[in-house]
Amino acid sequence: MANLVIMESPTKAGTVKGYLGSGYKVVGCTGHIRDLPKSTLGIDVDNDFKAKYINIRGKGDLIKSLKKDAKNADKVFLATDPDREGEAIAWHLSEALGLPENKIKRVTFNEITKKAVKAGMKTPREIDMGLVNSQQARRILDRIVGYKLSPFLWKTIKSGLSAGRVQSVATRILVEREEEIRAFVPEEYWTVDVELENKSRGKIKAKFHGDEKGKIELHNEAQTMKVVSAIEGKPFNVKSVKKAIRVKNPAPPFTTSTLQQEASRRLGFQSQRIMRVAQELYEGINLGAASGGTQGLITYMRTDSLRIADEAADAAEAYITEKYGKDFYPAQRRIYKTKAGAQDAHEAIRPSNLAFEPDKIKKMLTTDQYRLYKLIWDRFMASQMASAELDTVTADIEAGGYIFRSSGYTVKFQGYMTLYEEAEDHVQASAADTDTPEKSVRLPKIEQGDVLKHDETKPAQHFTEAPPRYTEATLVKFLEERGIGRPSTFATIITTIISRGYVVREGKSLKPTELGEITTRLMVDSFPKIVDYEFTANMETDLDEIANGVDTVTGVLHGFYDDFAKTLEAAENTVDKTKYQLPVEETDIICDKCGAKMVVKNGRFGKFAACPNYPACRNTKPLTGDGKPAEEKAPKVTDMVCDKCGSPMVMRTGRYGSFYACSRYPECKTTRQITKDLGVNCPLCGSKVVIKKGKSRTVFYSCEKYPECDFSSWDMPTAEKCPECGEMLYRKKGKPLLICKHDGCGYKRAIEKDDAE
């Protein structure tokens, strides 16, 4: 074997193998192969924070296989993702596999296309230890905070809690917004709208603005009725008419953050879903032989940059002028400036090949893939197009000494708006919003000096609204604006604070729980630096300086830990646990052993009712998902008999789902797993393939004769055969994809979700 290429994703590895040919073996390592141990801190804080890395459990066979492949290879190309995390994975691979320096070649691909892969392979470099050290510093920081603070939370609030460096700040943001909402006192304000008519030219709607001196806000009914009385029966004279052409520029192409915000607003996708689908588009989709097989459709999706390659800009210019005409391309090419402090190693997120128009390849994509790809396509193309031009009209109309204003705009030249217009977040309603121009309102011809007929007056009472809860889109926007965390971590941050029970979703909104609020209060009281916005943002700058060689890992870690250790010691000695107690949630269920009212507890498998007299009384009862007592039903008798005692078998439900058990339990403890015939024959022995559940309730598939026949798979076997090698196709776990698992084939095909169920 001449050359070995190691990538993160096995899916991506299959795509790249097709580009490189027979002189290369391309394999995937499926992310990190080494990490800090889970059972201990794994960091020697007294020895310059030396980290103890171990091979991740379950990766032993993979590492052994990679070592064998690396030993037989002339060169080893480490082609992990082109970011800080990917650089660290490349370094861990070199360490775990014991690769000599002269054998290692680090390569990166900004997009998974044949041209980009070939170009990347021609420009290898050394592993960037600045990026590696920066990633290690972040990992060590997060480990110290998590492993040192979590026990403190257990002792102070309740067991099982965990703390995170950036997650704690994100929770604080949501908690503070909830406090704003509670403290909000609505303020009354009034509006006065009038309907006017300009002879036979048409109707005009105008809003109360103020008087000759300027804007006036109406706060009560008395002020409003004074205006209504003053204009009654008075002529409405047009004092001024201002007409202008407003130029509206397109939004820049997507970065990781703006993609998450816009896909959340427009498509309703959660951040984790956005990044998963974007990863699929980046790694490659099988578009069929006519389109070159598997193709990466977008550039790398973890980026802060707005930079676009000249080649991509040239392709966009040609596409726009051909499809829309020269007027739709700006006189001067658009160049977007990346903000200071952003990671500019990669381009903005864009289509990798403009030949693959969304509607032309729609049949080859899942619904999610198509919608996200079209959003990325439209945003990129619009970012390169000419500005839109809007005809704006603002008329000030006087009556009874008061001014009413009518305004609106119509589109004169659509420009980029013919393709795309950025979505907007919901904003707080207030009295100041009443003069906002209405879109696409075409006013009838109106000139200064016109006298308008007064048809109707509409006074209305309103109240200001509390600031809205954050959505994923607005939280991501806040985090980015304040420099808290990195856009590539935002999806994980949101997922983590929800899974830990600090935050819940209410529709699209994120609402902190009582646990989240109490934990945040404790963190603010005892560890103000950890949850300080500016401190957390400055830590990101420190990590960047490590990557750039300006600072060192030990320097940054000492700067954090020396003060943190003292703060933790002081908190452990002084904290008043009574200030941070979670309220007890009582139920109407009476304990049938001691007569006490049972309370709700959270366990490993969800909520359950427990006796408050624990440990004297250990009685518990199951609860349904909505907190109501679960009905205790008699087990269903089946027509099967126990292999050991011959008694009937019954169906029972345990923590891992349903199963068959002997009706004489607990005297006879025979159990049998429930299996379902998949309607597919085993590829090894021809017997039936059945569906099973493991201990963690995870579904898998195996031969009915297992373990005599050792066929099993996490991916679902199908009756369909691979068109390239004739072997069985599998439905990829968690993805609407059909894949061939035959060694060296790599065939895959997108399928509709309904077909995959």
- Radius of gyration of the chain measured on its C-alpha atoms: 32
Active site residue 409: no
Q: Which of 300, 420, 502, 561 is catalytic?
A: 300
Question: Inter-axis angle of helices 367-383 and 256-267, to 10 degrees?
Answer: 120
Amino acid at 287: L
Closest CA to 111 of 451, 346, 354, 361: 346
**How far does CA 611 lie from the centroid of its chain?**
39
User: 404: which DSSP letter?
Assistant: E
Question: Inter-axis angle of helices 271-283 and 10-20, to 10 degrees?
Answer: 20
Closest CA to 107 of 129, 128, 133, 125: 125
> Distance (Å, rounded) from C-alpha 368 to C-alpha 419?
20
Residue 682: partners with Cβ closer than 8 Å, 6 or more residues away: 688, 689, 703, 704, 705, 709, 711
CB 622 within 8 A of CB 608: yes
Task: Assign 3-class secondary structure to 47-95.
Answer: CCCEECCEECCCCHHHHHHHHHHHHHCCEEEECCCCCHHHHHHHHHHHH
Task: Assign 3-class secondary structure to 443-499.
Answer: CCCCCCCCEEEEEEEEEEEEECCCCCCCEHHHHHHHHHHHCCCCHHHHHHHHHHHHH
User: 290: which DSSP letter?
Assistant: G
DSSP, collapsed to helix, strand or coil, labels residue 717 as: strand
The backbone torsions φ and ψ at residue 718, rounded to the nearest 5 degrees and listed phi first, read -125, 170
Alpha-carbon distances of 162 from 38, 111, 149, 494, 515, rounded to whole Å: 13, 37, 7, 15, 12
DSSP, collapsed to helix, strand or coil, labels residue 725 as: coil
> Distance (Å, rounded) from C-alpha 227 to C-alpha 192?
8
CB 17 within 8 A of CB 749: no
Residue with tokens 């965390």: 485
The tally of CA atoms less than 13 A away on the side-chain side of residue 619 is: 15
Closest CA to 727 of 712, 748, 757: 748
Helix (H) or strand (E) holding 238: strand 236-248
> Distance (Å, rounded) from C-alpha 64 to C-alpha 11?
20
Alpha-carbon distances of 629 from 11, 583, 587, rounded to whole Å: 45, 20, 9
> Distance (Å, rounded) from C-alpha 300 to C-alpha 131?
17
**How far does CA 261 lie from the centroid of its chain?**
9
Which residues are bridge partners to 405 per DSSP?
207, 396
**How far does CA 751 lie from the centroid of its chain?**
23
DSSP, collapsed to helix, strand or coil, labels residue 301 as: coil
How many other C-beta atoms can be found within 10 angstroms of the C-beta atom of residue 291? 16
The tally of CA atoms less than 13 A away on the side-chain side of residue 646 is: 0
* Vertex 740: Cα angle to 737 and 743 (nearest 5): 145
CB 220 within 8 A of CB 389: no
The count of residues in the chain is: 757
User: 113: which DSSP letter?
Assistant: S
> Distance (Å, rounded) from C-alpha 85 to C-alpha 344?
15
The set of catalytic residues is 300
